[in-house]
Structure 1
Amino acid sequence: MTHDASALQAVAALSDELRRRMYEFIRQAPAPVTRDEAALSVGISRKLAAFHLDKLVDVGLLAAGYAQPGGVRRVGRAPKVYRPAELDVQISIPQREHGLLADILLDAVRLQEPAETGPQAALRVAADRGRAAGEAERDRLRPGRLGTERALTCTGEMLERHGFEPVRLTPTRVRLNNCPFHPLAAKDPALVCGINHAFLSAFCEGLGATTVTATLAPRPGECCVELSERS
């Protein structure tokens, strides 16, 4: 099982209020906790507490063992006790690039020309940024003459780094599963999607991907731009 899948299971287990309260109690306890102590902390039966505790063990949030409370040796089998496990619960969420968008908008304000509107300045700056990024990528990769498939592969590496989550639908068509400017794009799609489109179009230009075009093709939950072979 992948790390993300394990983390998702852990988070799902904590969606139950009783489990979450017992887990918090055990995390704060100075010593491993018995089933009786955990049950008492949330006001349920020992049997029900055991069910929830073992579920938390199964998903990796708790570790279980056997020990006498307080370390005092007694006759008979030691009770089962629980302590927090060293699980680092981190879930990969869609990457956001609000810093890039903020830089573009800041430069648009600083560099706006007298005859430009604010949105026009933002689109111009986005294109300048994209073109410069494409030229830098071309200098780094030195790919030579680029056909469509190779150009989309080179573009995909940049898209991955910036969190666009590119998916190759066909050898000559790439869909972007994630909008790194969301949720700001939802507030002003015309501006933010326009900036995104200008950036990606100019990136392809700077890269020398003359056979690739970036088109606006918005879909819910995805990036508004699609890359494909120029017709």
Structure 2
Amino acid sequence: MTSESAIGAVAALEDELRRGMYWFIRAAGRPVTRDEAAEEVGISRKLAAFHLDKLVDAGLLQARYEQVGGIRRVGRAPKVYEPSDTEVRVNIPERRHEVLADILIGAVLTESADETARAAAQRVAAERGAGIGAAMRERLRPGRLGAERALTLLHTMLAEHGFEPARATPDCIRLRNCPFHPLAAHAPELVCGLNHAYLVGVLTGLQADTVTAELAPKAGECCVQLRPATSDTARSTTA
């Protein structure tokens, strides 16, 4: 769920009646009919239907038509509601701790005998980033990327992933937000190294060899910036 969708879902729960029906349905452990939801909060079936469908539109509930209690009746089956599998989280600024968790789990599961735990984590971070970059390249098919075109594509992609990129100068993207904060504050060398490896991987997958990812820590911002690569700068796969 995107940040915009998550905010919409939270806004849908601002209404007291919707909150009451939503928590009732979550606690029920089974599909709930409109009549049951209406009775729970003390409103008409018609008004309950309106609010329930708003919760469906927000991605919080899913609905279908089903006979209740296994009893087949004449006529159309009633509409029933149950919680969706969508997880709703709103972080401002955006955080992506699940990405970091995925990297660390991947490192634990694939660490080889000849690499350290840190090296395994950096390898997995680069692989995850490369997957993101490759997916973008497959979707857009941009061909050979010059530095300007690559920075423009990266600006869009990194915004979607919560980095809050800004063109500090025409040839430099600063990442204003660290999606891994506050964990980066607890172990900056480790987390910033993984973040750098992840973004190097993005460049690799995107085949943007005209751009380099540099470690450039700045208070209150991400530790990485992106610049055009020069003849004497080379991207590495480790921090």
1:218 maps to 217
For residue 171 of structure 1, report the CA deviation from its aligned partner: 2.3
Higher-Rg structure is 1
Write the deviation string for residues 126-169 of structure 1: whole angstroms up to 9, x where unpaired: 01111111111100111111111110111112211111000012
Task: Return 5+ residue gaps in structure 2 as ranges.
Answer: 1-89, 231-239
2:189 maps to 190
Q: For residues 170 and 192 of structure 1, what CA distance do their matches in structure 2 show?
A: 26
The count of aligned residue pairs is 141
1:207 maps to 206
Letter in structure 2 aligned against 1:98: H
Letter in structure 1 aligned against 2:185: A
1:228 maps to 227
TM-score, length basis structure 2: 0.57
For residue 92 of structure 1, report the CA deviation from its aligned partner: 6.9
Q: For residues 185 and 169 of structure 1, what CA distance do their matches in structure 2 show?
A: 22
For residue 170 of structure 1, report the CA deviation from its aligned partner: 2.2
Q: Once superposed, what is the RMSD of the aligned Cα atoms?
A: 1.2
2:141 maps to 142
SS at match of 2:124: helix
1:120 maps to 119
Letter in structure 2 aligned against 1:226: Q
Q: For residues 182 and 127 of structure 2, what CA distance do their matches in structure 1 show?
A: 24
1:173 maps to 172
Q: For residues 137 and 169 of structure 2, what CA distance do their matches in structure 1 show?
A: 23
Q: For residues 93 and 125 of structure 1, what CA distance do their matches in structure 2 show?
A: 27
Kindly tell me: are residues 151 and 117 of structure 1, through their superposed partners in 2, closer, same or farther at Cα, counting changes over 3 Å? same
Q: For residues 200 and 186 of structure 2, what CA distance do their matches in structure 1 show?
A: 22
Kindly tell me: are residues 185 and 211 of structure 1, through their superposed partners in 2, closer, same or farther at Cα, counting changes over 3 Å? same
Letter in structure 2 aligned against 1:205: T
Write the deviation string for residues 41-82 of structure 1: whole angstroms up to 9, x where unpaired: xxxxxxxxxxxxxxxxxxxxxxxxxxxxxxxxxxxxxxxxxx
Q: For residues 197 and 223 of structure 2, what CA distance do their matches in structure 1 show?
A: 12
SS at match of 2:135: helix
Identity of aligned residues (%): 59
Write the deviation string for residues 10-41 of structure 1: whole angstroms up to 9, x where unpaired: xxxxxxxxxxxxxxxxxxxxxxxxxxxxxxxx
Task: Kindly report structure 1 stretches of 4+ aligned residues shifted beyond 4 Å.
Answer: none
